A and B are shown apart, each in its own frame.
Chain A
């Protein structure tokens, strides 16, 4: 385990104002990663912590099977929801209350007035997330977003400037699987961006667009999931050069694009890609994004929820062969 990687991850985090931590799977140690980063940056930055949605892990808390464990110090900003706010042990000042409801009440933005443990909870949708991150950005200089399990939406580069990827035994006990999948996510984050002029045309598009005869055409359908509709509208023979999908890019759409000989597929960012690794390898699509993502480090958690422990050192060594990033096991920081 190299000391340098631990330092580099922290240095990388300090370069940005908004960093998201996403896990490949539940229990890949996101919270440990978050706490590790918090401990190491809190003396340099005024911190704000948020998370997306009310998710499985929070349900665990509701039902009392999981303990809250996000650490805050004096004068941190954090988001939570009414239910958890009422149960907190940390003295906190309410700064803002959202109008909208989540299953656990309205979202509260609070400021901690002492240290302790809190439960993070936040807006369940990205657009609303953007609003609260904006609020936090104006009052803190580093916003850390705690990812919900296996959902990447909060890591959209339109919100998060940098991403830390948490991977580990919870994803698979097979080291090769972990390495394969982590590499794949890394690759998706490296996808090239479309040219600026095209990004401008597409950035406000909420419907499927196709590029034909040198111009973008709006198909007027919101999701490419309506494949039949897409087939009808896009005509039978005329060549489609590029396809822009505002929503999720799935295996089926990929197959469709391949069968129609579409050369280039464009999505908003990597969080919209739901193509399985195998399909990706099979079709090797030419994918572009409106905004590319910036992974600034990877953490590996060797503990699986079933009790197995794998050797994080081996995984880190293997990953480092392919990924030029700091990769650490947060529990094994060399002194």
Chain B
């Protein structure tokens, strides 16, 4: 459904920083944990449902933080009974251990239901669908003594015959001093005989209980599915609150991608943990190619990675790291950038890069795609390099897919250009501790054909050896 480059999920998620986002997710149930482990792209209708529900849930959390935290605690006690449920569906006979798990499950489900009820009365709109069906009938089956404890055995109350045989067994045991007769054959024989009669009746009861559970299977399915969905949406909502994510909006009519206040969650957290400020950026992209130029260290790669992240998260039905994001629903995301963690496999960096670009080009001719290429041909000579980049721009322009090319080459012909504002003027250098503070990461439209020449200033700021800088400057003058 969604094609990505790199095609390996793990690589793609690492490059975009989605791995960091995933780490921050905290689903409570085993089902929720499994869901997020095997996340799948969704169809638009489904995405909308998740986004709507996440929105309602965020509101609910903000207005009832205590009640929600109680529900989260309850969710932690939910057992994964999917195997048991499918055994019920198949009309199989459950054993005591399964009934123990089932009883735990329905007790917790009922507990969560009780906590949701008043919330639903208050905010009926939107959260109705999380409502857990009433489990009372199933609880009664598993708790004939009405103690409502999360423990289980085949209770005497199920059957008069069971009660009788157990009484007989107890009386026999009572008459024996087990210290002496623990290993005697007559003791063992008698006990085994009584136990096997007891077991026969127990099996009959298990059969009956399983039958009743089969009759109530719809309730169980519903409870299971809703708890799972509740857990998933709660996790998504909590994530949105923690990382300050916003709902993306899918544009159906307009073809423009328009994102404002975009940020990369991992980088933002890293900067903020050392007391630094992360500067969010705005960007809008029309179909066709947009070129971004800018000095080294000006955050161009981060822009590409975050663009990919936002689109990826949207397709998975998540809120996204931006103040607002209007995006189209696309079928492919290609992020072609340096992967420091994955040294090249046999091919030269140029070869593997150009192959990926070609792959993206082919996909781009067939599907709606977002193609993000970071400094193509940077490792080859500037003469051929700039020719190659011009060709890339020309070809991708024709696909009318959203394509962003970051480059350092001069003379790249492209109508839509952005430049990172770059090094700030008039900065008091003494007050600056890090070079990041000197850079304005804002993207501004640019109509020139040349790229900013700031590498030398960056070198100066990095305190690079004088000879190197002077040498370079001399040559530029010539």
A residues neighboring B (CB under 8 Å): 35, 39, 67, 69, 71, 82, 85-86, 89, 91-95, 97, 106, 108, 111, 113-117
Contacts and interface: CB of A to CB of B under 8 A. Distances in A.
B366 interface: no
Given A67-B183, A82-B97, A114-B173, A93 B178 contact: no
A95 B178 contact: no
A243 B354 CA distance: 55
A97 to B, nearest CB: 6
Contacts of A94: 96-97, 100, 151-153
A115 B95 contact: no
Interface of B: 95-97, 100-101, 151-153, 166, 169-170, 173, 178-179, 182-183, 191-192, 195, 198
Given A67-B183, A71-B178, A97-B100, A114 B151 contact: no
B101 A114 contact: no
Nearest to A93: B153
Contacts of B96: 94
Given A92-B153, A114-B166, A116-B173, A85 B97 contact: yes
Given A97-B100, A113-B153, A114-B173, 15 more contacts: A35-B179, A69-B182, A82-B97, A89-B191, A91-B153, A91-B198, A93-B152, A94-B97, A94-B151, A94-B152, A94-B153, A97-B97, A114-B170, A116-B191, A117-B182
B161 to A, nearest CB: 15
Interface class of chain B by DSSP: helix
B162 to A, nearest CB: 10
Contacts of A35: 179
A95 B97 contact: no
B138 to A, nearest CB: 17
Nearest to B195: A89
Contacts of A114: 166, 169-170, 173
A39 B179 contact: yes
25 contacts: A39-B179, A69-B182, A69-B183, A71-B178, A71-B179, A82-B97, A85-B97, A89-B191, A89-B192, A91-B166, A91-B169, A91-B198, A94-B96, A94-B97, A94-B100, A94-B151, A97-B97, A97-B100, A108-B97, A113-B153, A114-B166, A114-B169, A114-B170, A116-B191, A117-B178
Contacts of B170: 114
Contacts of B95: 86
B313 to A, nearest CB: 30
Contact of A71 (B101, B182, B195): B182
Nearest to A106: B97
Contacts of A39: 179
B178 A116 contact: yes
Nearest to A92: B153
Given A71-B182, A116-B178, A111 B97 contact: no
A113 B155 CA distance: 11
A224 B97 CA distance: 43
